Structure 1
Amino acid sequence: MDVDLRKLRYFVAVAEELHFGRAAVRLHIAQPVLSRQIRALEGELRAQLFRRDRRSTELTAAGLQLLEDARPLLASADALRRRVGTAARGTSAFTVAFMPGITVTGAVRELSARHPGLTVELLRTTWDDQTEVLHDGRADVSVIRLPVDRRGLSVRPLFREPRVAVLPAGHRLAGKESVRVGDLADEHLLNDPDAVPEWRDVAVELREGTAPARRGFRSVEEKLEHVAAGRGIAVVPRSTSEYYTRSDVARVPVEDLPPNEVCLAWVSGRRSRVIFEFAEIFADLAGAGERTR
């Protein structure tokens, strides 16, 4: 049996909204049509995907499994369409994604010099989409910061770098040569606590239950604005703190935090010669950079 990708898209919309009406609006289709498509999918799979009553819609165990498998499948289909569309237009393009603070200029120049007819595009990512851009085809390779979900990816280590605490310029710890995680126990961390488990384990606000409601940040710039305003501190890789230099924040190395690991990633199933060549170029340049630090 072949699974209809359109029905899968309908299913994912309902699974994410857990409401047929909202999902129908999101998909720009009538709700009865959506309900019929979901029933048809359940018939094809011979499994109930949702439990519905007058008050709620919930995923069954089969629905949870399908949602886990459907997202990467749909992302792969999107990636395939993008690559085929590029080939159909007769263009030769290669997109490099990169996280804030990471410089890819040298590797991009070398790849462009070796392939004059290749258009190399650049795409800035965030913690939230640094691997998503690979799965959905927006990027061919992505320079990532661990940790990430490695499923479906080839990951090649490049280098490691220290992490620093970014503080308001007038903070009591600003200007110190270094600090330890314990020195930050009284602070409000603007990172997700799971991203800095060493802080999470000693944090006073988590132990006492006084932590304010957390919010997600769409960019490093937004996070630094909150640091400068005295609303908390952030832990970032050293290169990120150096790239976003500003007078109203200070950076202090944190001695007992493990370094951040920077890697190059791409979709495992791809066998592009240009991907492997770029990986070699970047690894060589990264290695040379480490040796000169």
Structure 2
Amino acid sequence: MTGTEKTPTATPSFRLAYVPGATPAKWVRIWNERLPDSPLALVPVAADEASDVLRRGDADAGLVRLPVDRTFFSAIPLYTETTVVLVPKDHVVAAVEEITLADLADEIVQHPLDDVMDWERPPGQPAVERPATTADAVELVAAGVGLLVVPQSLARLHHRRDLTYRTITDAPGSDVALAWPEERTTDQVEDLIGIVRGRTVNSSRGRAQAPAPQEKKQEKKKPAASGAKKAPARGAGRPKPGTKQGGKPQSGKRGKPRKRS
């Protein structure tokens, strides 16, 4: 290879960031089916780092938890998660199916520094020191030091045999959204928007259009060659019964004519 020759460049991939608990699998599958020539790369990020990752351009879009800075980001809310409280299996809360925030009033509730809940005032009594991460808070709950309020997907993500969770009926939910820098709304971002909004591949607003089915071309009959005779129809050329080959009717038996009386 000479110095003037260029190596072929790989197809650029679309980078989708996602925070813990978010589930991009369904949309990734649809993307791969519709856009096989544009690979999608998943970028796991901490919830509190998602905005910075998108601002730096380390990902093209992200599945994040609201709120985000709407002066910089465009966002499409996707779904709202149920809020639950994570407790030891032998805790009194585990004896019921649901609770309210008032039931936590006298409980120590861990409030990690990466808490994804947008509380005006966290429920329960604050711990002496805030754990650094949700994972650290889960370890404290397992050790019998307080409870933890999280979106249901995070309770499942940090599943342990010695812990369980219960729904909090009056707690605010956690909204998951597709977000991206508004000034970097590319064609690929538009493709992903169409996918998460459930547009079909033939939608008028979807960019990736399926090729239209080609109409079958009717085969034209070739004209007969000049001077060629058409083949006789089936049965043509055969004389009808009672006729000669020339077409004159045949008479009955030949014999002497009868005399008239």
TM-score bucket of the superposed structures, by smaller chain? 0.5 to 0.7
Give the superposition deviation at 1:188.
2.2
Q: Which 4+ residue blocks in structure 1 deviate beyond 4 angstroms?
A: none
Would the aligned equivalents of 1:181 and 1:199 in 2 still touch at CA under 8 Å? no
Aligned Cα RMSD in Å?
2.4
CA drift of 1:134 comes to 0.5
The number of residues matched between the two structures is 190
Match of 1:186 in 2: 106
Segments of 5+ residues of structure 1 without an aligned counterpart are 1-87, 206-210, 286-293
Structure number with the higher helix fraction is 1
Q: Say if 1:150 and 1:191 are closer, same or farther in 2 by CA, change over 3 A.
A: farther
* 1:280 paired residue among 191, 194, 216: 194
Measured at CA, do residues 138 and 236 of structure 1 come closer, stay the same or move farther in structure 2, by a change above 3 Å? Answer: same
CA distance in 2, matches of 1:110, 1:133: 24
**Structure 1 CA distance, aligned partners of 2:131 and 2:152?**
23
Tell me if the contact between 2:109 and 2:125 (Cα under 8 Å) persists in the aligned partners.
Answer: no
Query: 1:181 touches 1:198 (CA, 8 Å); kept in 2?
Result: no
Structure 1 residue 199: Cα displacement: 5.5
2:70 maps to which residue?
A: 150
Contact 1:165–1:233 (Cα < 8 Å) also in 2: yes
TM-score between the two structures when normalised by the length of structure 2: 0.66
- Give the alignment partner of residue 131 of structure 2, picking from 190, 202, 215: 215
Compare 241-250 and 93-102 and name the one that shifted more.
241-250
Name whichever of 146-155 and 178-187 sits farther off: 146-155
Instruction: Describe the shift of the 1:112–1:183 C-alpha distance in structure 2 as closer, same or farther (beyond 3 A).
Output: same
- The alignment status of 1:197 with 2:119, answered yes or no, reads yes
- Answer whether contact 1:169 1:228 (CA < 8 A) is retained: no
Indicate the residue corresponding to 2:219 in structure 1.
none
Deviation at 1:119? 2.2
Q: Match for 2:18 among 92, 98, 116?
A: 98
Letter in 1 for 2:110: L
- Mapped to 2, the partners of 1:114 and 1:233 lie a distance apart of 44
Contact 1:187–1:203, Cα closer than 8 Å, also in 2:
yes
Larger radius of gyration: 2
Contact 1:185 1:199 in 2 (8 A): no
Q: What secondary structure sits across from 1:102 in the alignment?
A: coil
**Partner SS, residue 71 of structure 2:** coil
Residue-by-residue CA offset, 1:239-263 (whole Å, 9 max, x unaligned): 2223433211110100111211111
Is the Cα contact below 8 Å between 2:86 and 2:165 reproduced in 1?
yes
CA deviation after TM superposition for structure 1 residue 203, in Å: 3.5
CA distance in 1, matches of 2:85, 2:175: 17
Tell me the SS of whatever aligns to 1:280: helix
